[in-house]
Amino acid sequence: MLEATKSCIKTAFLSTLPCLLLFIFLFSFITPCASQDRPARETTIVFKHGKIAGDQRAFRAIIEEFERRNPGIRVRDEVLPSSTDEQHQFYVINLEGRSSDFDVISMDVIWVQEFARAGWLRRLDHVFPPRERELFFRGPVDAVTFEGGVYAVPWYIDAGLLYYRKDLLERYGFSPPDTWAELVRIAKEITARETGLYGFVWQGKQYEGLVCNAMEYMWSNGGGLMADGRLDALREENVRALAFMHDLIHEYRVSPELVTTATEETTRHIFGNGRALFMRNWPYAWNIFEREGSAVKGKVGVKTLPSFGGGPGASTLGGWQLGVSRYSKHPAEAERFVRFLTSYSVQKELALTVGYKPTRKALYLDPELRKAQPFIAGLRRVFETARPRPLTPFYMMMTQVLQPELSSVISGLKTPEEALRSIQRHAGRILEAGEPGRGR
Ligand code: GLC
């Protein structure tokens, strides 16, 4: 019985042996093919960026798409606070300490000069060659260029815009304002009749956003901080512009006192909840207002900022650029990711979903984008004419002077003359110590 079983097993083994050998033979070919899809070595790059105010899932899907197209590279995105000043502080501390904990850095338009001068960024001339640069808006390209080299690729662009409640203006028979005086008049009339509605909200907290706002009033009154590459703060146009900002709150009372502590997101929430008639903000807010369930869906209009009359309004140039840390251990993979995020198709996807506005000019003619966001066509001109803050590696030192001075004007602690005199004295010294600023 035992013998019979043994011979049975032996026969079965001998009859399956050829199959087994064939299988081993084939497997030896199949295995290397399979491992080509899943590379032996996986590299993780870390991408640091500010909080995404728009559609987070869409942003994550874009990163996953990169990973799918680049087997072997994983991206860990690490979120920093939304405030530009806090993000700047994080980078200064970590890059001073030569940290290699992150590879791709998202930089505000005002930092690239400083970071490039400090030697914290890899040169990206090969990633962003001259013929590519022509396809992008001029302002951000200037911002990423330092002493003839390119140190980042413009990712998305910002410029200050006026948001208004279309429905309310129509109901009371007004057109959107072209001058600041009109804005005040309309805001006063409508808020007198609509309870619980603020007239005009903007960013007045002591931070970089306040500088962006203040520049727009000064420029739209024919002033500005710089003239011919030199600081010229104490000008009558600037005095009147800052006095107007103060008066919006304390004299005309169309802006609530809370604007003196408000950031982009504070004002976006107020306007988005239907509690303000006008708002100054960057373009990202529009997509959020048009989302399903938004209290102001279909009720929001967007236009260029007003002026003091006579000249055109002015927008501050903002936006974010992608660079690669000098201390990255995976520069090739990091550059690949920068190329991907700044490509035509990804910029388009980000515009459609998250609301970030493309730095590539051709996208403003893209039929799909224009259909989804009809006002985008008009934005091309706003971005072309948006004005840079002084382009100098010492800008962050300069803004440390500007922020408290501007804040004390809108809070009524200093007169515009006092603040501008102090800016002239202290910011002037900073610029003289470095290179002359090239901004306006
Ligand atoms: C936006 C702009 C940036 C600006 C900041 C101020 O993020 O893109 O350039 O410095 O707002 O809060």
Closest by CA position to 78, among listed 96, 69, 91, 97: 91
The answer to the question of residue 371 being in a domain is yes
- Does the pLDDT at position 301 exceed 70? yes
Q: Which domain holds residue 174?
A: 159-316+390-433
251 and 360, same domain (yes or no): no
| pLDDT-derived band at 39, boundaries 50, 70, 90 | low
The answer to the question of residue 331 being in a domain is yes
Q: Which residue shows structure tokens 């290699």? A: 100
Q: What is the pLDDT of residue 82?
A: 86
| pLDDT-derived band at 26, boundaries 50, 70, 90 | very low
Q: What is the pLDDT of residue 33?
A: 40
The ligand 1 atom at the shortest distance from the C-alpha of residue 207 is 12
Instruction: Give how many domains the chain has, as a whole number.
Output: 2
290 and 327, same domain (yes or no): no
Task: Tell me which DSSP letter residue 53 carries.
Answer: -
109 and 67, same domain (yes or no): yes
Q: What is the pLDDT of residue 38?
A: 57
Residue nearest to atom 3 of ligand 1 (CA): 318
Closest by CA position to 368, among listed 382, 381, 353: 353
Q: Please give the share of the chain, as a percent, with pLDDT higher than 90.
A: 84
Q: What is the pLDDT of residue 37?
A: 52
In whole angstroms, give the CA distance from residue 214 to residue 203: 9
Residue nearest to atom 9 of ligand 1 (CA): 318
The pick from 111, 202, 211, 212 for probing ligand 1's pocket by mutation, whose C-beta has the most ligand atoms within 8 angstroms, reads: 212
261 and 369, same domain (yes or no): no
Residue nearest to atom 12 of ligand 1 (CA): 209
CA atoms lying within 13 Å on the CB side of residue 270: 27
Range 29-48 average pLDDT: 66
| pLDDT-derived band at 15, boundaries 50, 70, 90 | low
Distance 50 CA to ligand 1 centre (A): 11
257 and 330, same domain (yes or no): no
Closest by CA position to 158, among listed 223, 212, 200, 88: 212
Q: What is the pLDDT of residue 309?
A: 87
Residue nearest to atom 6 of ligand 1 (CA): 209
| pLDDT-derived band at 320, boundaries 50, 70, 90 | very high
The ligand 1 atom at the shortest distance from the C-alpha of residue 282 is 1
266 and 188, same domain (yes or no): yes
In whole angstroms, give the CA distance from residue 155 to residue 171: 39
Q: What is the pLDDT of residue 339?
A: 98
Could you tell me the two tokens for 177? 């304002």
The ligand 1 atom at the shortest distance from the C-alpha of residue 320 is 8
**166 CB neighbour count, 10 Å cutoff:** 15
| 114-154 pLDDT per residue, tens | 999 999 999 999 999 999 999 999 999 999 999 999 999 99
338 and 416, same domain (yes or no): no
Q: What is the pLDDT of residue 1?
A: 44
CA atoms lying within 13 Å on the CB side of residue 370: 11
The answer to the question of residue 6 being in a domain is no
331 and 309, same domain (yes or no): no
- What predicted TM-score, i.e. pTM, was given to this entire model? 0.89
118 and 50, same domain (yes or no): yes
Range 325-350 average pLDDT: 98
The answer to the question of residue 11 being in a domain is no
- Does the pLDDT at position 9 exceed 50? no
Range 259-265 average pLDDT: 97
259 and 163, same domain (yes or no): yes
| pLDDT-derived band at 438, boundaries 50, 70, 90 | very low
Is the Cβ–Cβ distance between 424 and 402 less than 8 Å? no
Could you tell me the two tokens for 267? 């004002």
Distance 84 CA to ligand 1 centre (A): 6
The ligand 1 atom at the shortest distance from the C-alpha of residue 263 is 12
Q: What is the pLDDT of residue 437?
A: 43
Q: What is the pLDDT of residue 30?
A: 41
> What lines the ligand 1 site, CB under 6 Å?
84, 108-110, 158, 208-209, 212, 264, 282, 318-320
CA dihedral 107, 109, 111, 117 (to 10 degrees): 100
Residue nearest to atom 4 of ligand 1 (CA): 318
| pLDDT-derived band at 433, boundaries 50, 70, 90 | confident
The answer to the question of residue 227 being in a domain is yes
237 and 358, same domain (yes or no): no
Q: What is the pLDDT of residue 21?
A: 43
- Does the pLDDT at position 23 exceed 90? no
Q: Which residue shows structure tokens 């600081």? A: 231
Distance 264 CA to ligand 1 centre (A): 9
- Does the pLDDT at position 347 exceed 60? yes
Range 376-398 average pLDDT: 95
Looking at per-residue pLDDT, the higher value among 41 and 273 belongs to 273
Alpha helices in 225-343 (DSSP H): 236-250, 264-272, 285-289, 331-341
The enclosing domain of 217 has a CATH number of 3.40.190.10
227 and 91, same domain (yes or no): no
In whole angstroms, give the CA distance from residue 180 to residue 238: 15
The answer to the question of residue 4 being in a domain is no
| 45-98 pLDDT per residue, tens | 999 999 988 788 999 999 999 999 999 999 999 999 989 999 999 999 999 999
- Does the pLDDT at position 163 exceed 70? yes
The mean pLDDT value of the chain amounts to 91
Distance 73 CA to ligand 1 centre (A): 30
**85 CB neighbour count, 10 Å cutoff:** 16
- Does the pLDDT at position 330 exceed 90? yes
The pick from 106, 158, 265, 315 for probing ligand 1's pocket by mutation, whose C-beta has the most ligand atoms within 8 angstroms, reads: 158
Q: Which residue shows structure tokens 């803050």? A: 389
CA atoms lying within 13 Å on the CB side of residue 15: 6
Task: Tell me which DSSP letter residue 435 carries.
Answer: P
The answer to the question of residue 133 being in a domain is yes
Range 95-110 average pLDDT: 98
CA atoms lying within 13 Å on the CB side of residue 425: 7
The answer to the question of residue 36 being in a domain is no
